[in-house]
Structure 1
Amino acid sequence: MLAYVGQVIARGVPGAVWVRAEIASLTDRRHLYLDLVQLGEGGEVAKCRATLWARERAVLEGKFRRATGGHLTAGLKVLLFCQPEFHPQYGFSLNVLDLSPEFTLGDAALRLDALRAQLIAEGSYGLNRQLPPPTDFGRVAVLSPDGAAGLGDFRRETDPLEAAGVTQFVYLEATFQGHAAAASLGAAIAQARAVHAEAPLDALVVIRGGGAVTDLAWLNDLEVARALATFPAPVITGLGHARDDTLPDEVACVRTDTPSKAAALIVRTVAAAAAQAQEDARTIRTHAAQVLVDAAAAAEWAHDRAGIAARRAADRAALEVDALMRQALGLTPGRTLARGYALVRGAGGEVVTRAAALRPGTPLRLEFADGEVTAEVTV
């Protein structure tokens, strides 16, 4: 019966056919064994084994690598040219004769377009890009794969800043590739949010070493991109590629090509901030010195003005005193008598100023400027 089924398949499918599928898993043993899956329109999952025999493997893997920069890995959507085969002992499988790297790239691009459109529609796509880029870095969270070469490149540039106490770095780890990448990155970004809540971050830096297009495609996840787009501090990416876009690059406030360039941006910004601080300090010192000079000049001017005002006041007072002296001298008894007045004295020589104090018969002595006369009160 199994042999008959094999004959039916051989007669029904006389040649190779193009098959679309997703690589669920693969086993590398001289030959490359693939487990393929495809989701049907009704939600059912079709599964099939495929084999890339050693005689075709080197050619086809080279073709794929030249187009995508990466290798065949689990999770990739592929278009394979296959020969169906049914073996009574091993069952049904496909022998891979050719493949289309363009299909894999196109699928990744279509997926990226769909995710981008969704973020734009919900209004989160450009949120982080609208934040002002940092003008200084005092506290930075760095998200990278564990033990990544790019992290070493980054730290060679930035460790001196931390050693000098200029910048504090908080290092977080996540998986950047494979089916676990989305959940791992999401958890790490949530941890970065908690770090920011404890003490504000100047930036979240997301870095990894260089990778193939197919490797970078794992970063194109909706939840990861949304978490970065809505992160409360500026996001800086350095994912190790220059030509190809990833969704994290697109939603980040600042994109750099490599971890080293991300580190150089931080070092350059800190150096510029320090130089500006020195210039500001010089400006403040210069301004303060000028203020002191101006204050001294103002004090001297005020002193001079006060001296002038005091001299003028003294002169006015002297004039007033002279006038009073002249007035006082003009009111001496002798000068008053000379003007036609007389001084009335009683019998004892006292000055009489009121008529009511006199009685009839009271003797008086009238003193004039040229002499005295006596008189007696008659009224």
Structure 2
Amino acid sequence: MNAVSLIADSALSVAGLTDYLRLLLEQDQILRQVWVIGEVSSANHHRSGLFFTLQDTDSTVSIKCVAWNSQLAKLAQIPVAGEQLIILGSIRVYPQRGEYQLTVWQALPAGEGLQALRYQKLKRRLQTKGLFEVERKRSLPPHPQIIAVVTSATAAAWGDIQKTLKHRYPGLQVLFSPATVQGELAPVSITKAIKRVEQDGRAEVLILSRGGGAVEELAGFNDERVVMAVANCTIPVITGIGHQRDESLTDLVADVCVHTPTAAAEKVVPSLSELYTQHRQRVTSLQEAVSSSGEFAQKQLQEFKNRLCRLGLEKQVQQETLLLSWKRQKLLQVTRGKLQESSQHLEMLRQKLASIDPKAVLQRGYAVVRQENGAIARSASELTVGEDLLIQLGQGEVKVKVMEVEELPQKQRKSW
């Protein structure tokens, strides 16, 4: 028989080890009836009883507790998150998960928990600074091309975010800035991860996320360093921390807050399938609008045609055509009359002009005598012997020289 066989024969099964631990713990005289003081960090009612977590005031050490329904009515104080309690109970082992818990027999009030007091004090101080105001929150970009994610590299949250982003918006560039998201190192780690994203400068929006878990593990997101890093971040921040029942101070200062990593990924990018569906709906709506507009215009056109038929427009056009024809004939008649009258008047004027035309007088045997300077000679006394004259006849001109001037007697001059 070899060494492996010997070890296998002596090894305990998981159930055997768990049962051994159960007997060891549950039969211990101190652990069968022990008083424990701590702060209730979370409490949830189930059908079988009240399950809550008791946490140390000055550390992250905690223990799970249960008060069964049969014992709840006997408790002096019902456990509520944020309260300090003194618990009387006994240690019991839960074999299915290999965990131990404190079964509660009594709960006494010990004042408000220190963690709760610290939380409320910081919350009031941040609220006074206006960090929770809606006016300071920025909207997320509708179609980001580069986003950053701050979460744990080993957490299921990172896998959920990647899967959701790839399904909804393929081709998106994701910058991963890893951080420790629970425990004492979480505040410094988260703050550094956010600063790395800001220094890189490419991301248009930042997802700060962690998976589900106990409320006690949210302590890092209530740390003032983390809260201020988110509040002062130069790009929009969306948080997906814990579950719906949980709320952290980081959630309150973030630009957008959802309850899970998957919800954050869904919120930060649109779904291509939804965008395509919306596009098809818009196309359909536009087609319906155009079709409806065309039908309405066609109905209006037909209505106008019907109204024109009822008005007897064709008959009116015929009447107007006849009227225009009659007016045309009348205008032509008036024009001919005016033209004839004008022609007659023109002929009369022409005859008058002809009667006083000097050329016509010359045609009858008269002549016009002009002196050398072109003036018409009207009296013999104006002429001198030897003067050249120009005589204009009905046809042609004659140049003569005055040989002798004879003046008419005085009587004839007057009668002339």
CA distance in 2, matches of 1:215, 1:129: 28
Q: Which of residues 191, 195, 203 is equivalent to 2:196?
A: 191
Aligned to 2:131: 124
SS in 2 for 1:354: helix
Q: Which of residues 108, 111, 114 is equivalent to 2:115?
A: 108
Aligned to 1:358: 357
SS in 2 for 1:343: helix
- Write the deviation string for residues 253-290 of structure 1: whole angstroms up to 9, x where unpaired: 43333223334445776655554443334444555667
From the superposition, tell whether residues 352 and 267 of structure 1 become closer, same or farther in structure 2 (CA, over 3 Å): same
CA distance in 1, matches of 2:270, 2:202: 27
CA distance in 2, matches of 1:219, 1:325: 104
From the superposition, tell whether residues 224 and 154 of structure 1 become closer, same or farther in structure 2 (CA, over 3 Å): same
CA distance in 1, matches of 2:141, 2:210: 21
From the superposition, tell whether residues 293 and 336 of structure 1 become closer, same or farther in structure 2 (CA, over 3 Å): farther
Q: Which of residues 232, 240, 243 is equivalent to 1:241?
A: 243
Instruction: Give the unaligned 5+ runs of structure 2.
Output: 1-27, 42-50, 63-83, 87-106, 305-313, 365-416
Aligned to 2:158: 151
Overall identity of the aligned pairs, in %: 25
CA distance in 2, matches of 1:110, 1:230: 25
Instruction: Give the unaligned 5+ runs of structure 1.
Output: 1-54, 82-99, 302-307, 346-350, 365-379
Q: Does 1:76 align with 2:60?
A: yes
Count residues in correspondence: 268
CA distance in 1, matches of 2:248, 2:297: 61
Normalised TM-score (structure 2): 0.48
Normalised TM-score (structure 1): 0.52
Shift of 1:335: 8.7
Q: Which moved more, 1:269-278 or 1:169-178?
A: 269-278
Q: Does 1:172 align with 2:172?
A: no
Residue 261 of structure 2 aligns with an amino acid whose one-letter code is: P
Aligned to 2:18: none
Query: What is the 5 A alignment of 1:1-379?
Result: 67-68=52-53, 75-76=59-60, 106-126=113-133, 130-132=137-139, 139-163=146-170, 165=171, 167-194=172-199, 197-198=201-202, 200-201=204-205, 204-266=206-268, 272-287=274-289, 325-333=332-340, 337=344, 341=345, 343-344=347-348, 352=351, 354=353, 358-359=357-358, 361=361
Kept in 2, the 8 Å contact 1:235–1:252? The answer is yes
Residue 129 of structure 2 aligns with an amino acid whose one-letter code is: E
CA distance in 1, matches of 2:294, 2:159: 52
Aligned to 1:26: none
Structure of greater relative contact order (alpha carbons < 8 Å, 6+ residues apart): 1
SS in 1 for 2:113: helix
Structure 1 residue runs of 4 or more that deviate by more than 6 Å after TM superposition: 55-60, 62-66, 102-105, 267-270, 289-301, 314-321
